[in-house]
Amino acid sequence: MKFQTPKLLLLTLALVFANAAARGAYAQRAGGSTTRPVHAHSFERGEELVYVAEFSRALLKKLDVADFRFIAGKDERMEKANRADTNVDAGAADYSLKLTGDVSSRGFFSKLFNLHFRERIESIVEPNTFTVQKTKRVDEQGKRSRTSESTYSNGKVFWIERDPNNPARTPRTASAAFTGQVQDILSAIYFLRTQPLELGRSFEVAISDSGRVYQIPVRVVEKKRLKTVRG
């Protein structure tokens, strides 16, 4: 049985997550539809969000599939002097945002299909331009494990992936050019929260994954009120 990888689950969740958090983003704005986010963002003060992914159809309805945990906050250690190699503009903030995402399999579904995975992503983002600077990822699927790091500098992303179980194996590498803002899979979720998600609005988000850059179309087609334990 072929199953979606955790990073695809993250992409699937992105718009739902952004829509659910949109009201918090609107409170930060005085109006307008610019694609440049307004600094500062509510999640900079520190935020942790937990989601449970489950099936919603047929016999598998309400069957848990995975846990999602997102943590956001300031990384005061990332000062301008320590970010010289990322070529950040002189007007950049004197700190960075640190975003952490953790996705892991759970429940009966995991046991039934002997499917065990966990993916941890750490993104460092410049808060004024909301452009990702560095991405670290640990991808575990059963006995298979991979670690990777992406760096973004001078309009180019460089990606390297290693096998921690086989250090002698030649690392995989890839690179690609980009212009303007770019996100990774995790920072894209938070970037969408900074946008005015009016019904009918369409735009594209440049998302980098595994050393490639993709223009992902986004269209706001519906708003829903979601029930949460708190908030």
pTM for the model stands at 0.74
Asked if 110 and 123 touch (Cβ cutoff 8 Å), the reply is: no
Confidence at residue 49, expressed as pLDDT on a 0 to 100 scale: 82
Domain positions in the chain are 6-219
| Residue 30: per-residue pLDDT | 38
pLDDT, residue 109, reads 61
Instruction: Name residues of the chain where pLDDT drops below 50.
Output: 1-5, 8, 15-16, 18-38, 81-82, 85
- pLDDT at site 40: 67
Q: How far apart are CA 133 and CA 127, in angstroms?
A: 10
* Rounded Cα distance, 174 and 99, in Å: 23
